[in-house]
A = this chain, B = another copy of it.
Amino acid sequence: MSPLHPGPQGAVGLFADLYELTMAAAFHAEGVRGQATFDLFVRSLPEGRNFLVACGVEQAVTGLTEWIYTPVELGYLESLGLFESAFLDELARLRFTGTVRAVPEGDVVFAGEPILTVTAPMVEAQLVETYLLNVIGFQTMVASKAARVALAAQGRPFVDFSARRDHGADAAFYAARAAYVGGASGTSLVSAGCAFGLPVVGTMAHSYVMAHDDERSAFQAFLQAFPGAVLLIDTYDTVEGARRVVEVVRELPPGTPRPSGVRLDSGDLSVLSRQVRAVLDEGGCPDVQILASGDLDEHRVDELVREGAPIDSFGVGTRMGTSADHPYLGVVYKLVEENGEPKVKLAPGKRTLPGRKQVHRVEEGGEARRDVVCRVDEPAPPHSRPLLAPVIDHGRRVLPPADLNAARARREAAVASLPAELRDLTPAEQPYPVEVSPALEALAALAEGRADTRSQALGGGAPAGSF
């Protein structure tokens, strides 16, 4: 880290909207020292999505447990001329001492359910808002998108090819991770493979073919360097490319591994895959698989699978890595309790349920029936499991080391347990039932009454909140 480039992977403490710091300073000046609880959640699912896949908790925990202000950051903040030295001294000493509970990575969540909750001294809880929204929102968005591709692929493997179009290097890095949790079998991005232990995959580019005198010599050269490689066959003409593959395979020295597959990256993948399959089969290459890529998303994969296209696996890129149809998730971070007092916001259409909570998923016969958002101290409904578990306890990480294979398996099981209608790519007519427990409703009524009285006393209108 240099002073000129602290960057998001430098000290994390400046990864905050300025108002987090000014509000924290105001709380500090006011002597606000009590515990506050914030919930991180979405108010509604993106249109057409039936569920979300929680992801990014690992990075959230890492950031919070490393939340510091070094002299570089403090010097910068001082230079703004906004902050009193007493507050900057507080920041110099500050470590995150709060408690965080979260839905495990890979589990399924719905609108109105906390994905993560923070209970901490107000100053700390406020400072981490921007960071938490950013890391949880982004990875949850990508994992949720990938889970839809997984549904469409119906068991066929698909891999993440999004790196070149993701929103910067870091986005590509974490998109690969989230896509894996969501169901991808691997990624083309080597840095992500290295860091997260993901399978890395790749074929060849058109430029490689063009850099050779002809396709045949390109294939030969590549197979010599990488026996068993996947060959890209659409640089000039896809079906002719398949014929070249057959010729090259015939000429391979005995005992040399044959190409494991061919990649189609353009054109009508349904038609071309059939033609290519025929050429390969007739040419004695039934073992050479077909990988399709090029502007794919869950809808295009679904079409290809339904049409019976003989495609063995998919490379899914841009539209998955950027969640192109919904390129952001409306995650919010709302104050729900302060010093034990439940808090609500009354802005129209933006009701917030007060208090510390637990979400219980009622499961019967291996199927998820409904979720119940409860007060944290309520008894669990029968046949349910709690979704929120501690990941940081008074500043200490209690989240086990990340296990992406476990998260991936959790996603698979959680999605499989959903009602069939929710496992479709089209919007479910009957959204998954998310109930609010009577005890939590009672608390909300109490808090809203209080806030309403306050608002009325101030001359404000009646609350128009709806969940």
- Report A's interface with B, CB cutoff 8 A: 4-10, 12, 14-23, 25-27, 29-30, 32, 36, 38, 73, 76-77, 80, 82, 122, 126, 129-131, 133-135, 137-139, 161, 163-175, 188-191, 193-195, 200-208, 210-211, 213-216, 221-222, 224-226, 229, 234-237, 240, 243-244, 266-267, 318, 322-324, 327-331, 333-335, 338, 343-348, 350, 451, 454-455, 457-461
Contacts and interface: CB of A to CB of B under 8 A. Distances in A.
A210 B208 CA distance: 60
Given A7-B9, A38-B207, 18 more contacts: A8-B173, A14-B191, A14-B194, A15-B169, A17-B190, A20-B205, A77-B190, A122-B211, A126-B205, A138-B168, A207-B333, A210-B345, A211-B335, A237-B460, A240-B459, A266-B347, A322-B328, A324-B327
B194 A73 contact: yes
A459 B194 contact: no
Nearest to A317: B328
A73 B195 CA distance: 10
Stoichiometry (number of copies)? 2
A454 B194 CA distance: 40
Nearest to A343: B210
Nearest to A11: B191
A347 B459 CA distance: 68
Contacts of A188: 17-19
Given A82-B226, A169-B134, A5 B347 contact: no
Given A208-B26, A343-B210, A459-B243, A4 B130 contact: no
A6 B134 contact: no
B4 A195 contact: yes
Contacts of A457: 214
Contacts of A170: 7-9, 168-171
B130 A17 contact: no
Nearest to A338: B211
A22 B324 contact: no
A142 to B, nearest CB: 8
Contacts of A207: 23, 38, 126, 333-335
Contacts of A16: 189-191
Contacts of A226: 22, 25-26, 82
B166 A134 contact: yes
A163 to B, nearest CB: 5
Contact of A32 (B10, B131, B211): B211
A130 B161 CA distance: 10
B168 A5 contact: no
Nearest to A80: B200
Contacts of A329: 165
A110 to B, nearest CB: 20
Contacts of A23: 204-205, 207-208, 222
